[in-house]
Amino acid sequence: MMAKTLKIWSLNVKGLNSPGKRRLLFREMRRQQVDIACLQETRIPRSASFRLSDRRYSQVYSSCASTKTRGVNILVRNSCPFTLDTVVAGGEGRYLVVNGWLAHKKYSVVSVYAPNVPDVSFWSDLQMFISSHASGALIVAGDFNAVLFPTLDRSDASQRAVPRELRTQDKQFHRFVRALDLVDVWRSHHPTTRDYTFYSPPHASYSRIDYLLAAPSSLPELGSPAIGSITWSDHADVSMHLRLPGRRTPGQWRLDPTLLDAEGVSQVVRRELEGYFQVNGTDDVPASVVWAAHKAVIRGVLISQASYRKRRKGEMFTQLQASLRKLEFRHKAEPGPVTFDALQEARRALTQLSLDEVSRSMLWSKRFYYERSNKMDTPMARRIAGLQRHGGVGALRDGAGNVHRSASKIRDIFTTFYEKIYNHSPHATLDNPTHVANVQRFLSELALPTLTEAQTATLGAPIDSEEVRTAIGLMQPNKAPGPDGLPGLYYKSFLPILLPHLTTMCNSARSGTPFARDSLTASIVTILKPGKDPLGPGNYRPISLLNFDIKVLAKVLALRLNEIIPTLIHADQVGFIPGRQAYDNTRRACDLVWLAQRLKVPAVFLSLDAEKAFDRVGWAYLFQVLTHLGFPQEFTSAIGVMYDTPVAQVVVPGTPPRPFRLTNGTRQGCPLSPLLFALSLEPLLS
């Protein structure tokens, strides 16, 4: 494993009011895998600052002018382990300070857009602003419209003897850097190299006016400074990498849904699936093993196809970029009209390639929003809700009150917290005869309804392929997949091949054949509840991601149970029961209030909310309830297989998960869980 690094990137974008240009920017940031981006001259007015948004860069901090001038921004990638402290904007869109934590260290990232004429007040105000508001290790990025080393940072000797006002700007910049004790990161790695970030056609000269500056104490953590090419902006981007403590861990693979739309991919996958099941579809190997192994095989095929297409897609871009870079070096060394024309042509070709992709993307978006503009569905709900920030958990408080910022500690705190919830009664198991006897005694004293013979036969009947097909058809294809990375779209795309084998696996569960251990693993991702303290582990909503094939079996069982459960559940219980609505009990409560007032009966109405109710259901109790209600062995065996030593793992970027066993609770995200919860609650309400 390699050391964990973050890419810090800076660019003067020369205006971002065009939607196409904004898409071009975000496409470039994704291509370069930028973690923290500092932008200058965005020209987005304060009233339209919301336009600079992207779902992968949802942390956007701005300093805007009231008009379409100036403007600086700092954008943070969702996967970046950054914890925000404070944001301070100043200079009417000239500078912005963002203070926050990266791992154990606090940083102050500053984006600056300096005026292109000498302005003593700007530099003094900027120095005072940074000194007053920056509270961490300084990283200052921006377009400073000045150079630190004229003999190296300007291309033409005649331009080094610059007019007086330009020399003044350089001096002001130099004094600013010395006053804050900053270091030019690129120059510290390239002491004698000439390279530039801006070309002035009127003067036919290059200059390096875009910088990444940092405190000397941070230099050991900073590496790989680079100057990019001048393409769709008139400035080149500058970048560097920040090394974080720890080691980089591989992310969790998941299928990119667009891969299946690529030419030839579906045919390759279909051929591999047919060959696999033809060779391995024998009675010698359990169906669950064959099924689990097929997922590993097909993952390899999909990863191979994705890698091949990524290389193919980037070949033309890489060739054009390499050609552009060679022409840039030649023109910087020997400026001339012929070289300049060739350079401009290479830039146009590279920009046009990016613009073609952006145009196709925008055309699809326009069609999408045209078709759904007046429909009350998911896209409208997302637009109304606004862009949610998905920054990772940067810090967490443990049980002793200590705050930890390392990814491994955050993972351990979350794991310990959820392990207690999902293992609250370690002795309340089916292996404990005393506990089972107590549950049976409790249930025997209740007059609960039981299943009829016809209902028992329906629930215990073998699962046919049409039931599996119906279950898959009713499930969302693009929901986040479980640890195996295969979403519902994969199953729907190759249903004719997968259906008979998935049906066989579901029927093997009826006989109690266990699934492969990996199949029962769930990934837990955490989302901070609105308005809650981000340091408390209990203030995050855990989202459990199950493998789709397990959810298919649960959906089949749930569809069968839906037809029967109203006969087992009292009318007072309306949650999750088909044909019943929440307003039934609301209406009943209103009637009771009216009746108490009418008859002048003293009454108290008490509302209760059970904390983590789904997570506290005991499995021994649940299976005893199912047996007491007359559920057939085949049905309870299928449920038992899904609850046979399942494990969960909290996903924290930057550290491998630490699986832990579950011993109680109905599984979140499982289609069957609400019905099982209603059944477990019924004896307690009788």
Query: Tens digits of per-residue pLDDT, 39-78?
Result: 999 999 998 888 898 888 989 999 999 999 999 999 999 8
Task: Give the angle 479-612-675 at the CA atoms, nearest 5°.
Answer: 60
Within 413-460, strands assigned E span: none
Residue by residue, DSSP assigns 281-300 as --TTS-HHHHHHHHHHHHHH
* Pick from 406, 483, 413: nearest CA to 654: 406
CB distance 47 to 62 below 8 Å: no
Instruction: State the Cα–Cα distance between residues 624 and 436, nearest whole angstrom.
Output: 8
Query: Tens digits of per-residue pLDDT, 417-470?
Result: 999 988 888 788 888 889 999 999 999 999 999 999 999 999 999 999 999 999
pLDDT of residue 405: 85
| Phi, psi values for residue 83, rounded to 5° | -115, 115
Instruction: State the Cα–Cα distance between residues 560 and 633, nearest whole angstrom.
Output: 15
* Pick from 657, 647, 661, 624: nearest CA to 424: 661
3-class secondary-structure state, position 356:
helix
Residue by residue, DSSP assigns 647-673 as EEEE--TTS----EE--BSPPTT-TTH
Q: Is the pLDDT of residue 656 over 60?
A: yes
Average pLDDT (182-204) is 91
DSSP state of 62: E
Percent of the chain's residues with pLDDT above 70: 91
pLDDT of residue 67: 92
pTM of the model: 0.80
Residue by residue, DSSP assigns 479-510 as SPP-TT---HHHHHHTHHHHHHHHHHHHHHHH
CB distance 522 to 545 below 8 Å: yes
Query: Tens digits of per-residue pLDDT, 274-310?
Result: 999 998 877 778 888 899 999 999 999 999 998 888 8
pLDDT of residue 350: 73
Q: How many CA atoms lie within 13 A of 541 on its CB side?
A: 10
Counting runs of H as helices and runs of E as strands, what totals does the chain give? 21, 20
Query: Tens digits of per-residue pLDDT, 107-134?
Result: 999 999 999 988 999 999 999 999 999 9
Mean pLDDT of the chain: 87
pLDDT of residue 297: 94
CB distance 662 to 653 below 8 Å: no
Query: Tens digits of per-residue pLDDT, 519-535?
Result: 899 999 998 888 889 89
Element (H, E) at 358: helix 337-372
DSSP state of 92: T
What is the distance between the terminal CA atoms of the chain, rounded to a whole angstrom?
57
Contacts of the segment 658-661: beta carbons below 8 A, 24+ positions apart:
658/411, 658/412, 658/415, 659/521, 660/415, 660/418, 660/419, 660/422, 660/423, 661/423
